[in-house]
Amino acid sequence: MTVPDSMRRGQLEFAMSGWLPVVAGVLLLVGCASTVTGHPVVTTPTDVQRHIGAQLSALLPDPAQFPARYPAVVLPPEAATQAAGDLTGIGRGSTVRPEGCLPPVQRSGPDRTAIAVGTDNDSRATLTVELTRNDLPLSALRNQLKRCETMQVARAGATTTVTTRLEPPPPIDADDALALRRTVAPEVGEAGLTQSMQTLTGQVGDVRIAVTYMSFSDAKPDTAALDKLFTTAVQRVKQA
């Protein structure tokens, strides 16, 4: 019985993070005298299948779970929506170039967007945990970030340049994960106004968990605190 070479070349392709499963075509060999050929098909999920029932506001880490240097508060829903724009560098009402780089509208409410922020007043740095409901898998965000590494954002007469670079994803027990570095630099402004951010993002079901270290300096980010808080936030959602 002979198997065609084309069948041996079928292979699975994986997303950059290595966590996203794909489905390949199945080759069936029927009997000993015949061969059934097939063509491998790779698919990527286009929506999220699992819903996490708990309210997002109940899934945030407690302020006491933040690193000691970052005393934390939970933001009310309206303030949380505004803070979410600060984390992307794209506030509500902004115009973004190139086209297709504007993020989805941030939905407000305790079960749509929940944010807790810890602040180190000495370094002017913050650690922010953001939980959002998302119908799309994290791969959709990853693909957009690849297309939108550099953006010009205009709002209320001011222009900023938002630069985002993907990094190797963090090792975390989640459906998917990614890491990024981002700067938000004003076109006109004094030194010390550029935001520097490092973000770890994971997705568990329809809950997206993003933990961001943000500062207004070129100092090395507090990666130990970031990693610890990200792990805490993901585990809390998984235990829901």
Statement to judge: residues 158 and 61 lie in one domain:
yes
| Sign of the CA dihedral running 72, 197, 111, 93 | positive
Tell me what the mean pLDDT of segment 191-213 comes to: 94
User: Are residues 231 and 128 part of one domain?
Assistant: yes
Whether 34 and 66 share a structural domain: no
In the predicted structure, residue 32 carries a pLDDT above the cut 80: no
Span 172-194, pLDDT tens digits: 999 999 999 999 999 876 566 89
Q: Count Cα atoms within 13 angstroms, Cβ side, for 142.
A: 24
Question: Does residue 49 belong to any structural domain of this protein?
Answer: no
The answer to whether residue 39 scores a pLDDT higher than 50 is no
15 plus 95 within the same structural domain: no
**Residue 22 shares a structural domain with residue 83:** no
| CA 90 – CA 145 distance, rounded (Å) | 13
Q: How far is the C-alpha of 215 from the C-alpha of 183, rounded, in Å?
A: 10
- pLDDT > 70 fraction of the chain, expressed in percent and rounded: 79
CA dist., res. 126 & res. 69, Å (int): 10
Q: Could you tell me if 124 and 38 lie in one domain?
A: no
Read off the pLDDT band of 238 (50, 70, 90): very high
Has residue 191 been placed in a domain? yes
Question: Based on the domain organization, do 88 and 151 belong to the same domain?
Answer: yes
Burial 166-189 (b: 16+ CB within 10 A, else e): eeebbebebbbbbbbebebeeeee
73 and 100 together in one domain: yes
Mean of the per-residue pLDDT values of the chain: 82
Q: Which domain holds residue 110?
A: 56-238
Specify the pLDDT at position 193: 86
212 token code pair: 């961001």
